[in-house]
Amino acid sequence: MPLPPYSRRHFLQTATALGVATGLGGCWPGQGNGQEVQFLNRSLPPQLISQFQRQLSQGKDLNFKAIANLQSLFENLQTWHNPQGKNSFPGLWGNGPGTKQLQSPAQLVTGGDVWLEKAIQTGLIQPFASSQLSQWSTLPPRWQLLGQRNDQGVPDQAGKIWAIPYRWGPTMIIYRQQPFADLGWQPTDWSDLWRPELEQRIALVDDPREAIGLTLKKLGYSYNVTNPAAIPTLAPALQELAAQVKFYSNQCYLQALLNKDVWLAVGWSSQIIPLLRNQSELRAIIPTSGTSLWADLWTMPAGSEAADITYDWLNFSAQQSSLTQMATFSQGLAVPYQNLDIGSLTTNPLLAFSPELLERCEFLAPLDSASADQYKALWQTMRSAQTITG
């Protein structure tokens, strides 16, 4: 299955012109030269890391290193797996990290849910021992299936545990309030993106699964439709949406909104939520018909020796007190271990999903090769009518 073009949601957490949602990497050292966890910067609260390190018994050590983006984390996995080799996904980020020099593999690395299938197939990661995960059985099935896969990387409740989710969030609509006050209405759902007043007033992330997925949702289908070419209303709806879009970008869509180049943008909560704190003119919503969800996952690099302290961290971070720390200090939502109510997993009312709304939302599932080709063809046709890309 060919991978979709990389995007911030799937691979990158690079800094935008706004300085949103990322920062420089940093370290939270333990007591000495111990095992290492490499995590996506700002995806873990420093308070949680410090609390874990304080309760370690003497002689135990786990160092935490913040890495600025998912691309670098992925390249580290490749280098550990094949230090002199080329990129496992040619064309994605150039020729690969062959010149990069790293020490022995980290114990844990933040992974992206969309490339987990290929990471399994190419041997970049190894499965966890389910017997050492004390809280795994308390995780609802839809979250288990993010990381529980067969050996081909397809979600499978009977599969091995290849990844463990720890943070998640939605794709959202963000918009400038004044233009819509002048129009006399406010956006509430995906269908509003097709209103004639928004022609050339929208910025979208440059991602086929998001753009085609929200269109499928508007038409009453799932984000994860296979054989989308069989839906006769889809291609016309995508062409109509293309006429509405002024700007496609994974990095600059929020800047276009701030510059008043557009009135409305579609993007990821991890980038949108921080911006709202200082921009009272902006408002964000989760569409009422449901949206796509993203997740940050723990993966274990191939070749690393699973230490007891690794599972100590995984079990510690799944305790209710740790989930409360994630809810309080993270820009995303904590994972609902112990069947906790979603509203208790965030302090941000924008992310407090009702059970009914959450049921209408979806994590993006892997596509078979035939369906992936259809999505690619639909995307190319949609983008052929658009010239502005960031």
What is the reported pLDDT for 235? 97
Question: Is 128 contained in some domain?
Answer: yes
Question: Is 7 contained in some domain?
Answer: no
Q: Are residues 196 and 334 in the same domain?
A: no
Q: Are residues 203 and 267 in the same domain?
A: yes
What is the reported pLDDT for 87? 52
Looking at every residue in the chain, the average pLDDT score rounds to 86
What would the two tokens of residue 267 be?
């993007």
Q: Are residues 190 and 149 in the same domain?
A: no
Q: Are residues 150 and 214 in the same domain?
A: no
Question: Is 361 contained in some domain?
Answer: no
Q: Tell me the mean pLDDT in the region 202-230.
A: 97
Phi, psi angles (nearest 5°) of residue 281: -75, -15
Q: Are residues 247 and 183 in the same domain?
A: yes
Q: Are residues 270 and 306 in the same domain?
A: no
Split into its structural domains, the chain has a count of 2
What share of the chain in percent tops pLDDT 70?
85
Q: Are residues 280 and 314 in the same domain?
A: no
Q: Are residues 160 and 178 in the same domain?
A: no
What is the reported pLDDT for 113? 85
Which structural domain, as residue segments, surrounds residue 241? Answer: 170-292+368-383
What is the reported pLDDT for 331? 81
What is the reported pLDDT for 18? 33
Query: Please, are residues 147 and 162 in contact by the beta-carbon 8 Å criterion?
Result: yes
**Number of alpha carbons in the 13 Å side-chain half-sphere of residue 385:** 16
Question: Is 360 contained in some domain?
Answer: no
Element (H, E) at 331: none
Q: Are residues 32 and 100 in the same domain?
A: yes
Convert the pLDDT of each residue in 105-114 to its tens digit.
999 999 988 8
Question: Is 13 contained in some domain?
Answer: no
Considering the entire predicted model, what is its pTM? 0.87
Closest CA to 168 of 22, 367, 312, 362: 362
Convert the pLDDT of each residue in 314-369 to its tens digit.
999 999 999 999 988 888 899 999 888 887 888 899 998 999 999 999 999 999 99
What is the reported pLDDT for 339? 81
- Residue 179 pLDDT > 50: yes
Q: Are residues 74 and 161 in the same domain?
A: yes
Give the range among 94-103, 192-201, 285-294, 325-334 with minimum mean pLDDT.
Answer: 94-103
Q: CA 101 from chain center: how many Å?
A: 27
Give the range among 86-90, 136-140, 361-365 with minimum mean pLDDT.
Answer: 86-90
Question: Is 64 contained in some domain?
Answer: yes
Q: Tell me the mean pLDDT in the region 264-277.
A: 94
Q: Are residues 238 and 190 in the same domain?
A: yes
Cα separation, 273 vs 310, whole angstroms: 31
Question: Is 49 contained in some domain?
Answer: yes
Element (H, E) at 42: none
- Residue 246 pLDDT > 60: yes
Q: Are residues 100 and 241 in the same domain?
A: no
**CATH code of 253's domain:** 3.40.190.10
Question: Is 244 contained in some domain?
Answer: yes
More confident residue, 229 or 16: 229
Cα dihedral sign, 208-166-122-65: positive
